[in-house]
Chain A
Amino acid sequence: MDAYPANPRFLLPILQDIQHTERHLSTDAMKAVARYLDVPDSKVYAVATFYKSLSLTPKGEVEIKVCLGTACHLRGAGEIVRGLEGALGVKAGETTADGKFSLETVNCLGACALAPVVMTGETVRGGMSAAQILEAAGAKS
């Protein structure tokens, strides 16, 4: 947090950094940010709940993001989501009980030529089946 000047305009980047290191935004963390930037708690909460990349509940060690962009939709991204939901035993948007994986859907990863696309951590992969994705994600963590 100290890397940023105490200016409200840095609210989003500070929250993004906390999300990155702690994998979620705790109430304590949000309150600390509000104090640091001297903004109301409500403002921090508003930003924390507006943006999709921020989460109040902890995300898994590996975030699996399945692209549901148009090109991926046409090339069977829905199948992959169903496959991953079945294999992980969670619904999209949830995290496995052991905290290892969270499954999310995103609206376009901008790698449409590889559709259907999945991002595990910061790695983008194209044209894989649900089983292949899990293997790659598991091997990585």
Chain B
Amino acid sequence: MKKLAGLDELRDYRLSVTNDGSLEKPHIWVCGGTGCLAWGSADVLAAIQEEIASRKEAVTAGLRCESAGCHGQCERGPLVEITPQKWIYHKVRPSDAGKIIDYALRGDPAEPTADKNSFTSGQTKRVLSRMGRMSPRSIDGYMRLGGYEALERALREMTPEEVTAAVSASNLRGRGGGGFHAGTKWESCRKSQGGVKYVLVNGDEGDPGAFMDRSLMEGDPHSVLEGLIIGGYAVGAAEGYIYVRNEYPQAVANLTLAIDDARSFGLLGENILGTGFNFDIHICRGGGAFVCGESTALMASVEGRPGTPRVKYIRSTERGLWDAPTVLNNVETWANVPRIILNGPEWFKQVGTEGSPGTKIFALVGKVENTGLVEVPMGATLREVIFGIGGGIKKKRPFKAVQTGGPSGGCLPESALETGVDFDTLTEIGSMMGSGGMIVMDDRTCMVDVARYFTGFLEGESCGKCVPCREGLVKMRKILSDIASGKGRPGDVELLADASETLADTALCGLGQSAPNPVLSTIKHFRDEYDEHINEGFCRAGVCQGLFTAAISDACIGCGACLRACPANAVRGEAKRLHAVDARGCIGCGACLDKCPVNAIKAERRSAR
């Protein structure tokens, strides 16, 4: 590809690909995200491409089939979308290739409207708007959907001060969890003295249950680059780094290609588009350490050192990477930047709440009917997201809690469902936004087990630099394990609360300071369950081994699934007749509970022996 020498050449090139007619031509997009690949979407892609090549009418019509980024509905993969109609198909098999091609050429008789399920129609897609309708491996495809127009505008019409002012005016807050105002960071870095400055992308998406950053890096890598280049221009940085998790090989591959393409187009490198602005981007692969998502630990890791945090009495915007002024924002935050530059801060603030404008992508997972990525305006209620877009709880079981904010967040009970979700409201009710993981839990989830899980997670990921985190988490996890195995003692809950307070007050970095949140929020909202474990040796969710007996109600249809699942042969019953559990034989493992198709098995208190 020839290098674009000036802003006019970029404009001409953008317009030439936009108007080359391919947007109107029929196009089949097969999702190539990690989720759909796991469902075998590569075979679907190959089958459709092969079939197109063998059908003359398809070739004549200019029908093309390409791999696209993630739609976010990973559980229903492999997903296929037909444009320009925007028809989406779930669970497509290679044998469906002929049918899909027919639909693309002649229309789908069964699909009069594009959006018919609540999962798609309930969303406000801004950052995710291109996902699935563009090849993440094509810079032309990105430009065809408006890509690099914002960069052109910033370089042509705006001074660095004006770019920074626009981001400030938009009130864009960091989507990685902290919710810090991006404009404030940029302003501070821009004003800092020193010739060398850096801009960084935090793509170390470590929160279990969150994968929006992976999807963006894999599915729309150029939008992250464009945001970063604009950021570099605004603060006066000549180098940018993207720190990507080691567990995301496909994100690394797509970002690497995107950077190479941007470089050969002259959008990165020396004297970008003849403006005199020099900027380049490097990728750093993470080493598989959760704490590296913390800003100072991430910078230590980029510098080639173990990723341990430092005390933050000096802000990174003054002394960050290699002691130079540095702006670090997460993937989703950077991807918002081109849209703000293009449409203006007022457009950005049209949706969302006053304190937290714009949209947020949530990863809706767990025991919910529709799992996947969901982009909604800030301020949408938990109920709208979980029961509207998410379609409610799997198997129509009762809702128990939703966990937001990853290991640093908290578990919220049913009474919080009407809360509008933004940075401030979540913090007020004892959780946090985090990077946007939203894990839905039903009555088969034990809250003591959840607290133990998160505490164990953080125990393993603590870098060990400061004592409260390194030692405190070990003790807390041990107490929680005791409670979960029926060895809890009266006073344990108070001890946990006390240890939590100490840890929150004295830990060095955000990982330790927020580590007690899962424990404190479960104690606050689900104290009954702790007490039942400790005082009665009973786990009502049927999760903690040995702390319950399975009991079958007369809703039983006699299918025998539980009988086959029981490792202790404690279930009795004939086919099509009511089954029963022999309480003396039941070892309280819970194997039968999930197998029952009609939710007829309940966890009950063990009778005194």
Contacts and interface: CB of A to CB of B under 8 A. Distances in A.
B35 A106 contact: no
Contact of B211 (A46, A110, A126): A110
A80 interface: no
A109 B363 CA distance: 13
Contacts of A43: 305
Interface stretch (B176-184, B287-295, B495-503, B548-556): B287-295
B205 A113 contact: no
A56 interface: no
Contacts of A50: 287, 289, 306-308, 463
Interface stretch (B92-100, B245-253, B345-353): B245-253
Contact of A110 (B214, B302, B308, B372): B214
A122 B38 CA distance: 11
Contacts of B284: 12-13
B238 to A, nearest CB: 16
A16 to B, nearest CB: 6
A62 interface: no
B439 A52 contact: no
Interface in B235-290: 245-249, 284-290
A87 interface: no
B453 interface: yes
A110 B210 CA distance: 6
Contacts of A123: 37-38
Contacts of B286: 51, 53
A50 B453 CA distance: 22
Interface in B463-494: 463
Given A70-B209, A70-B403, A70-B439, A113 B35 contact: yes
Contacts of B221: none
Given A16-B285, A106-B288, A70 B38 contact: no
B38 to A, nearest CB: 5
Given A50-B289, A108-B206, A111-B74, A71 B365 contact: yes
B287 A112 contact: no
Dominant secondary structure of chain A at its interface with chain B: mixed
Contact of B38 (A46, A71, A111): A111
Contacts of A70: 208-209, 365-366, 403, 406, 437, 439, 453-454
Contacts of B38: 111, 114, 117, 123-126
Contacts of B109: none
B365 A112 contact: yes
A131 interface: no
A114 to B, nearest CB: 6
B301 interface: yes
Nearest to A74: B366
B422 interface: no
A10 B285 CA distance: 11
B431 interface: no
Interface in B402-420: 403, 406
Interface in A99-131: 106-115, 117, 119, 122-126
B366 to A, nearest CB: 5
A74 B445 CA distance: 7
A61 to B, nearest CB: 17
A84 interface: no
A74 B208 contact: no
Given A50-B306, A70-B403, A124-B37, A115 B365 contact: yes
Contacts of B579: none
B75 A113 contact: yes
Interface in B359-401: 363, 365-367, 371-372
Contacts of A122: 249
Contact of A108 (B37, B247, B301, B366): B247
Contacts of B206: 107-108
Given A10-B304, A74-B366, A74-B445, A108 B207 contact: yes
Nearest to B406: A70
A9 B304 contact: yes
B461 interface: yes
Given A9-B303, A110-B205, A114-B74, A52 B288 contact: yes
B13 interface: no
Given A50-B287, A107-B208, A107-B290, A112 B246 contact: no
Nearest to B371: A113
Interface of B: 34-35, 37-39, 73-75, 205-211, 214, 245-249, 284-290, 301-308, 363, 365-367, 371-372, 403, 406, 437, 439, 441, 445, 453-454, 457, 460-461, 463, 594
Given A13-B285, A51-B306, 16 more contacts: A9-B304, A16-B285, A47-B304, A50-B463, A52-B288, A73-B453, A74-B366, A75-B366, A110-B210, A111-B34, A112-B211, A119-B247, A122-B249, A123-B37, A124-B38, A126-B39
Interface of A: 8-13, 16, 43, 46-47, 50-54, 65, 68-76, 106-115, 117, 119, 122-126
Q: Which 3 A-B pairs rank lowest in CB-CB distance, beginning with the nearest?
A: A51-B287, A69-B208, A113-B74
29 contacts: A12-B285, A16-B285, A47-B306, A50-B306, A51-B246, A51-B288, A51-B306, A51-B307, A65-B247, A68-B208, A68-B457, A69-B209, A70-B209, A71-B208, A71-B365, A71-B366, A71-B439, A74-B441, A74-B445, A107-B290, A108-B210, A109-B34, A109-B247, A110-B247, A112-B363, A113-B363, A124-B34, A124-B37, A125-B38
